[in-house]
Structure 1
Amino acid sequence: MIVGLDMGGTNVDAVVIEHGRIIRTVKRPTNRDDLFQSIWTVLEELLAGLDQKKIRRINLSTTVSTNAIVEGKADPVGMIIQRGPGLAYEFPECRGEKVFISGYIDHRGHVVKDLDIREIKQAIDLFRAKEIKTCAVITKFSTRNPSHETRIKKLLEKEFPLVTLGHTLSGKLNFPRRVYTAYLNAAVAGTFRHFADSLKRSLRQVNIAAPVFILKADGGTMSLEAAEEKPVESILSGPAASLVGLMSMCATDRDALLLDIGGTTTDIFFLADGVPVFEPLGIQIGDYKTLVRAVYSTSIGLGGDSAIQVHQGSLKIGPRREGPPVAFGGPAPTPTDAMILLGLMAAGAAEQTRAEVALARLADPLGWSPHALAEQVLETMGETIKNKVEQLLQEINSKPVYTIKELLYGKKINPKVIYVIGGPAQALAPVLSRNFNLPCRYPAHYQVANAIGAALAKITTDITLLADTVQGTLSVPELGLHEQVSRRFNLAQARQKALALLEKRATALGARPEEIEGEIIEESCFNMVRGFATTGQNIRIKAQVKPGLLDMLRGEHQ
């Protein structure tokens, strides 16, 4: 059995899947004041009466890291930054203490100016005085030579147990993004470890020995232990779970628009020839542009529980959620109340009456009936989503389109079908179909599709191998690997070594051998010339575990 659990802003959804069949689902409200308790309450209900020894894995999508960042509850970080020559970035968005040190490593990995250990000791004294608990070390071109970062870590870890090194998070050359990525990783490390410790302790108490995996923003998973080292990869994993859920039940080889309409937000995704569109540089969360691999997604503040208002004679829906629908005791009318009134969502007579009264208060000043207002609410939702999608497509199609597999030169995304999940999916499908003039379908388990996506996501990872045969060096930043190679080291050997290291990394993240299918997604090899002679080669290989699903569920499309 596989357990999938997705924590959304409104509800926690969970499923148990056995042999490709969904055998149990649970949906319960999220307690934002106690996220761990929300998860644990759902798990207890989900697993009651089941043979827990049959649980093979628990896949969990959690907002713990994301919430810590967006709510300003992340820990202050002691940052040691080696900028070298060039633009003097200050990184004012990073909370905590920033110490800029001298020294420099160039783009080839040569040490141009060594560390001044006195500066590091002064930084340690400052962090200690400010009661800093977690640190991040980022030096320019550390992906080419991480020696300065690793030496600084040895000095820091005697007093600070949580130290993030920039080069271990990505092999990409983008110094500002690497600084922000390292900062966020350090800032949420304490919060995530507390959450992980609580989860592991609770699982032990009920004798559940199944391994726990955490969803990542790229739609894959990593072991809970790996997530404790790199919690930044778990940010915005909720939309990724939704995408995986949609793809597991709505397979297509066409351009498509995918929507997850939740209680608070609507997440928007696109497929190019059936493959998810990807963020080429990394995701942005708040003011922080990162190097975190992620599927392309955009959220808008529009959901089933968004508050409805009438402003200057026109309807306004969202972006705020003031609570549950009036039908269920909430303070303000919502689209869910409209769906209940129109008979598009199941509810009792008392709930229907409360919904009608609430909508009548908004409809009367407009001279409308409650039913007319309810119909207009759904039309407004459809129009709002359509306008946002058109804007996003214009932006996407103005640049090269990247998917998780490749760069599509000259590709223009033109959706031919819409797939929608989330509580309002069935009610809104006809509205969306009219607005977009496209077929709009929803799978049989549309209400818990994000939890299905969490359950079926497989481990993903990638590495960047860099070899300079003139210097005789090879590095894989994500692994912290830096070693010597022969001057005769060539591209074929680089490919072979990259795939072997990729398999090793995936295994360390918790992947089973049968789940690992490596592939080379980028490669380059340039001759290094001095005078009129070739002195060696500069080789770069990007390899990833081929994305996919643990299993496929073919739901009935409506």
Structure 2
Amino acid sequence: MIIGLDVGGTHTDAVLLSKQGLERQIKVPTDTSNLFETVLTGFNHLLEDIPIGKIKRVVISTTLTTNAIVQKELNTVGTIVSSGPGIDPEWYRTDENYHAVEGSIDHRGREREPLNHKQILAIAKSMKEKDITTLGVIGKFSVRNPAHELEIRDLLKDQFDTIFLGHHVSGNLNFPRRIATVHLNAAVYEMHRDFFHAVKNSLEQKGLQIPIQILKADGGTMNLESSMSFPGQTILSGPAASVMGSIAYAPGDMDAMVLDIGGTTTDIAILVDKVPLLEPLGIRRGKYKSLIRSLKTHSRGIGGDSHVRVDGNTLKIGPERLGPAMAFGGPAPTPTDALVFLKKMNSGDQQLAQKGMENIAQALGNTPEAAARAIFKQTCTMILDQARDLVHRINSKPVYTVHEFLAGYAIEPQKILLLGGPASYFAQEIETLSGISTEVVPASAVANAIGAALARTTCEITLLADTEQKKAMAPEEDFTAPISHKFTEEDAVETTHELLLKKALKSGADTEDMAVEIIEYQQFNIVRNFSPRGKIFKVKMQVKPGLIKAYEAVCHHCTINPDIEKGI
């Protein structure tokens, strides 16, 4: 049996899967101030009367870090940048605790200017005075030689609780994105650490001693321990779960739009012939352009519990969520209150929902029913506007899927797949407004947890080999090895493959679920004074995202097994 858990900003969804289908599903409120109790409550309901020994796999996804970025609730962290001559690092300033220091390494990995220890120690002192405990350190060419990043870490390791290094995040050369990636890693670390401990402690209390996997932004998984060194990969974990949970229901030979309507956000994605699109450079959220490999998704602060208010004569919905809907004890009107008032939704307190609609109606100068209908229609319209915007932006650039580059391809959605707790209430209105056939996927309220449960482990490796310098390295893995001038393309591919398999197994992959492919290969001759001096090889290889083989059929049996009582 497999457990899938999706910790959202509003609710935490948990599912128990077997080869016979969906055995049990649970939905509990998420208490971000007490994640341990939230997760433990989910497990208690889910595993009641279930022998612990039957559980073979646990996979978790979360929208907590994504929501923190959307709602601008990131922790204060420090950043030290070593760039040298060239682009002014001030262009990429993250916040007031961003410091550029002396020292540089060139594009071949050679030191051009040493670090100034006195300057670095003074910067560290100023950060400590602000009670900053987490630090990011980035060198422009650290993927060619991480010596300066390592030197700064060794100098400051006793002064900060956690230090993230730029060469660990990606083998790609992109200084601005590397700065943003390290900053995001540091800024979400404390939140992810609390989440990590909540999950680990709750599972230990239940007696589960099996490895725990967490879903990454690229639709694949890694073990929970590995995520502590790269917490930024959990950004868009929740939206990735939505995509993975919809794949089995997408039509072949056409484009489908995926809308996961939650309480806090709506996550939007596109499938081409059942294959998700890829963000080729990395996640972009707000001002942050990162190197975090991810599926192409779009998260916006519009959901069932979005704050509804009137500004002047204009109806405003989101992006803030002040709490649950008034119908469920919340402080302010929401789209959910409109659904309850219009009797599209049977649960919730009708009188409290009516009170919320009366407040909006008074501000707009119309009736509560008119206000509720306006809120409902505007919510659907806003979601579709965001979806159309995503399609437009995708079509303005080359289209990449997780498997291939589609030259000259234009996305034209012919199907909308809805997920999330409120999905069934929105389906008819979204189909009417969009003119596109709209379908609610089976078990839509927990489809994201099912998607997380069935995702296979993924990872990637970038190898750079320089036969003139007689060195091969994979910076993300702290791998460096001597090579001879006879090092070949075959040697580069074989070395990369060995490193990838090692990383995949360490991350929790099953050898039966590893579809490996080369996603980038480059080879350059080094010529000096018209004389060949060596070659540079660059190989990037990945384990492709997808569903685990043993449970691919589970999605086609997403009905509750009558032999096991449904959780509450």
Q: TM-score, normalised by structure 2?
A: 0.89
C-alpha separation between the residues in 2 aligned to 1:334 and 1:137? 42
Q: CA deviation at 1:343?
A: 4.2
Contact 2:247 2:275 in 1 (8 A): no
Contact 1:68 1:74 in 2 (8 A): no
C-alpha separation between the residues in 2 aligned to 1:334 and 1:97? 38
Q: CA deviation at 1:43?
A: 1.9
C-alpha separation between the residues in 2 aligned to 1:95 and 1:453? 39
Q: Which residue of structure 1 aligns with residue 461 of structure 2?
A: 463
C-alpha separation between the residues in 1 aligned to 2:85 and 2:55? 54
What secondary structure sits across from 1:337 in the alignment? helix
Letter in 2 for 1:439: S
Deviations 1:195-227 (A, max 9, x none): 423433343233211221222121221111101
1:155-166, aligned counterparts within 5 Å? 155-160=155-160, 162-166=162-166
> In the superposition, relative to structure 1, how do residues 338 and 115 fare at CA in structure 2: closer, same or farther (>3 Å)?
closer
C-alpha separation between the residues in 2 aligned to 1:313 and 1:155? 58
Q: CA deviation at 1:50?
A: 1.3
Contact 1:308 1:334 in 2 (8 A): yes
245-254 or 172-181: which moved more? 245-254
Contact 1:75 1:190 in 2 (8 A): no
C-alpha separation between the residues in 2 aligned to 1:80 and 1:329? 45
C-alpha separation between the residues in 1 aligned to 2:361 and 2:197? 51
> In the superposition, relative to structure 1, how do residues 20 and 511 fare at CA in structure 2: closer, same or farther (>3 Å)?
farther
Q: Which residue of structure 1 aligns with residue 566 of structure 2?
A: none
396-405 or 318-327: which moved more? 318-327
Residue 141 in structure 1 maps to residue 141 in structure 2: yes
Letter in 2 for 1:6: D
Residue 509 in structure 1 maps to residue 511 in structure 2: no
What secondary structure sits across from 2:142 in the alignment? coil
66-75 or 484-493: which moved more? 66-75
Q: Which residue of structure 2 aligns with residue 480 of structure 1?
A: 478
What secondary structure sits across from 2:15 in the alignment? strand
C-alpha separation between the residues in 1 aligned to 2:384 and 2:72? 29
> In the superposition, relative to structure 1, how do residues 49 and 97 fare at CA in structure 2: closer, same or farther (>3 Å)?
same
Contact 1:220 1:457 in 2 (8 A): yes
Q: Which residue of structure 1 aligns with residue 200 of structure 2?
A: 200
Q: Which residue of structure 1 aligns with residue 390 of structure 2?
A: 392
C-alpha separation between the residues in 1 aligned to 2:305 and 2:113? 57
Q: Which residue of structure 2 aligns with residue 268 of structure 1?
A: 268
C-alpha separation between the residues in 2 aligned to 1:120 and 1:338? 55
What secondary structure sits across from 1:229 in the alignment? coil
Q: Which residue of structure 2 aligns with residue 519 of structure 1?
A: 517
Q: Which residue of structure 2 aligns with residue 74 of structure 1?
A: 75
> In the superposition, relative to structure 1, how do residues 20 and 155 fare at CA in structure 2: closer, same or farther (>3 Å)?
farther
Q: Which residue of structure 2 aligns with residue 93 of structure 1?
A: 94
What secondary structure sits across from 1:61 in the alignment? strand
> In the superposition, relative to structure 1, how do residues 117 and 322 fare at CA in structure 2: closer, same or farther (>3 Å)?
closer
Q: TM-score, normalised by structure 1?
A: 0.90
What secondary structure sits across from 2:238 in the alignment? helix
Contact 1:341 1:352 in 2 (8 A): yes
25-34 or 304-313: which moved more? 304-313
Q: Which residue of structure 2 aligns with residue 289 of structure 1?
A: 289
1:32-431, aligned counterparts within 5 Å? 32-66=32-66, 71-72=72-73, 74-77=75-78, 79-90=79-90, 91-94=92-95, 96=97, 98=99, 100-120=100-120, 132-160=132-160, 162-250=162-250, 252-309=252-309, 315-347=315-347, 351-352=349-350, 354-356=352-354, 358-359=356-357, 362=360, 374-431=372-429
C-alpha separation between the residues in 1 aligned to 2:76 and 2:13? 28
Q: CA deviation at 1:441?
A: 0.8
> In the superposition, relative to structure 1, how do residues 459 and 88 fare at CA in structure 2: closer, same or farther (>3 Å)?
same
C-alpha separation between the residues in 2 aligned to 1:187 and 1:341? 40
Q: Which residue of structure 1 aligns with residue 448 of structure 2?
A: 450
Q: Which residue of structure 1 aligns with residue 565 of structure 2?
A: none
9-18 or 385-394: which moved more? 385-394
368-377 or 8-17: which moved more? 368-377
Q: Which residue of structure 2 aligns with residue 529 of structure 1?
A: 527
Deviations 1:116-153 (A, max 9, x none): 45555555555666654333322111111122222333
Letter in 1 for 2:150: T
Q: CA deviation at 1:45?
A: 1.9
Q: Which residue of structure 2 aligns with residue 554 of structure 1?
A: 556
> In the superposition, relative to structure 1, how do residues 109 and 322 fare at CA in structure 2: closer, same or farther (>3 Å)?
closer
C-alpha separation between the residues in 2 aligned to 1:539 and 1:73? 38
Q: CA deviation at 1:439?
A: 1.0
Contact 1:462 1:544 in 2 (8 A): yes
Contact 2:20 2:557 in 1 (8 A): no
What secondary structure sits across from 1:383 in the alignment? helix
Q: What root-mean-square deviation, in Å, do the aligned CA atoms of Structure 1 and Structure 2 show? A: 2.9
Q: CA deviation at 1:519?
A: 0.8
Return 5+ residue gaps in structure 2 as ranges: 560-568
Q: CA deviation at 1:524?
A: 1.6
Q: CA deviation at 1:109?
A: 1.7
81-90 or 109-118: which moved more? 109-118
> In the superposition, relative to structure 1, how do residues 253 and 157 fare at CA in structure 2: closer, same or farther (>3 Å)?
farther
What secondary structure sits across from 1:145 in the alignment? coil
C-alpha separation between the residues in 1 aligned to 2:368 and 2:504? 56
C-alpha separation between the residues in 1 aligned to 2:163 and 2:394? 37
C-alpha separation between the residues in 2 aligned to 1:227 and 1:21? 29
Q: CA deviation at 1:44?
A: 1.9
Contact 1:271 1:277 in 2 (8 A): yes
Contact 1:76 1:95 in 2 (8 A): no
What secondary structure sits across from 1:430 in the alignment? helix
